[in-house]
A = this chain, B = another copy of it.
């Protein structure tokens, strides 16, 4: 991923050095497991652990690249370099393992770390959302459907919908992390031909991973498809919120705003502008997350016990998808934390639509009074259109309607038009979420 969208956390998880260290950690864990089972002398393993702290991984990485150019095989290059750096003792490493036992297990660890990192971000994000949801729980604003004023609601309730979605996303991500926390040390075709399920069990458990019940040369890629699709679904949540804020920040709406630095500039040509660039940015990032998910889905149908076509995809989307989402979460959290809300403007919009939002209440009251629904609907619609076209108060148009007034008085209608009544269940929703 480009520097611009790379968080420090993701950079350190996906760096070349981190990758090689993880490979080494897996080799060490396997040597230790074999030691525990009596195949490797204890002093060798102890020396290996001691040496593991002394390796200069940047130097290691350079040397390994030289080998790889010749050998065209990364794990063999890694082992060759290890022998150079560690000497004799390296001989006990990788015994009975196939490259994928190392590479795939390391990938699981990196995805697991990234997933947990994102989970933490979701936590912070949820808290920021909940804070604002509570703060604005009773801030009256328009609910809009089809981009049209529909009925009143509260800004807090709008935000609560994202709190609930983030909760779902956290559960999904937890499961997706579990999905990709499976690994295997089951050899070249998954049946432990030169290896042993007990070694695998020890190694994976010491690494915090689960045993893949039936593996091929690698862990099956349906797990990864689920993982990357989960990231895309979370991206969709961020996009929905980003689009919401972009709408609220429109010149004509102006109800809520991204935070804006005091020295920040909106446009190189137009000094008067404040643009929702953070949320527009996140909108685009969600597209990237969707696209990575598509590539992951295509990786499932590998040939026989594995072909390596998934690898180029995962080398890219492994870091890119997790990094983009991590960045987008940081960004959206800062937007929510610094969100500028214009409650007066919200209220003004409610007042402007005014009584129109009670059209349903009036219609329902007419039905209660015995009118057929479709007829009641027609009467109220006539009053609504009259009110709009002739710029008269909806209340007056209703009260003056020749048919409606047979059933409802001016006072009846006026009583129906109450914010409090309309919002009486908001607390219930807050309580149960």
Contacts and interface: CB of A to CB of B under 8 A. Distances in A.
B297 A168 contact: no
A222 interface: yes
Nearest to A167: B213
15 contacts: A72-B265, A95-B367, A143-B191, A145-B188, A146-B303, A147-B303, A149-B251, A151-B188, A160-B214, A175-B175, A225-B233, A284-B310, A285-B313, A286-B301, A316-B320
Given A165-B220, A236-B297, A316 B377 contact: no
A58 interface: no
Interface stretch (A45-53, A110-118, A353-361, A406-414): A353-361
Interface residues of A, number: 170
B281 A290 contact: no
Contact of A191 (B317, B324, B423): B423
Counting every copy of the chain, the complex holds 4
Interface string A72-103: 11011001100100000011011111110000
Contact of A213 (B75, B93, B164): B164
A193 interface: yes
A160 to B, nearest CB: 5
Interface of A, helix, strand, loop or mixed by DSSP: helix
A214 B299 contact: no
A191 B190 CA distance: 43
Contacts of A273: 145-146, 148, 150
A15 B92 CA distance: 44
A284 B233 CA distance: 18
